[in-house]
Amino acid sequence: MIRKDVKLQRKYYTDAAEQYDEIHGGEDSAHDTALKYISTFMDLLEVTTVLDVGCGTGRGVKYFLDKYPDLTIIGVEPVQALINQGIKKGISSELLICAEGESLPFDDGSFDIVCSFGVLHHVAQPEKVVREMARVARRAIFISDGNRFGQGQLLTRWVRLLIYKFGLWGFANYIKTAGRGYMSSEGDGIAYSYSVFDQYDILANWADRLIFIPTEITDKKSLLHPLLTSSHVLLCSIKEGSK
């Protein structure tokens, strides 16, 4: 049985599909910045196959296809209405697969790199998606998403970090969301409290090297805790010497 929050999220994206790119994007967005950084890593790693998890209307897929015409790039997306918008952009329907991030329909190590852009804060159990990404990736995993600890005013960021460090985040989030565990808005649908740093342990066990790149700076003061300086982060997990 599909959970209520998942149904609400899919309905939101189905209803907003035609306006999705207008609502969620822009050439200066954090995820477009992440795409440019990932391209640099792709050149260094000599990547030939890419999987975009939660590809939406195929913005990332189209970016990589335009930049690397010989690249094999597949996008998976659970909302068919968003896939249909990607097809209208000219992306082949064979490259856009309707599937869940929690259960990717691919064999282990099927892709050189696996990436996601602004997906995991919409997932109740993002660790399941990240474990699946790690299963099908050979060389690198890239996650571009929000960082709860770098959002809001400075005092708010510090309070969030302290609550998290004392192990009280689950309780605080329960109170904030009135027991639902998620927030709902017209601009972003269903969203859960999330930070790319939440999956640090999973990816540290998978990768040889982890690199964090701020893609939207909140505060440049060097004295701040590194968790507090950026509202959006690109997490780069790289296996060295894997081909």
Q: What is the DSSP string of 61-114?
A: HHHHHHH-TT-EEEEE-S-HHHHHHHHHTT--GGGEE---TTS-SS-TT-EEEE
Nearest to 14 by CA among 83, 102, 95, 90: 83
So what's the pLDDT on residue 179? Answer: 83
Phi, psi of 63, deg, nearest 5: -60, -50
So what's the pLDDT on residue 176? Answer: 86
So what's the pLDDT on residue 153? Answer: 84
Q: Residue 153 has what DSSP assignment?
A: -
Decide if domain 4-238 falls under CATH 3.40.50.150. yes
pTM given for the model = 0.90
Locate the domains of the chain by residue range: 4-238
Q: How many angstroms separate the CA atoms of 43 and 127, rounded? A: 28
Phi, psi of 182, deg, nearest 5: -145, 160
Residues of the chain falling short of pLDDT 70: 1-2, 24-28, 218-226, 242-243
Handedness of CA 14, 79, 130, 215 (dihedral sign): negative
The beta-strand segments (E) located in the chain are: 49-53, 72-76, 96-97, 111-117, 137-146, 183-185, 189-191, 209-217, 230-238
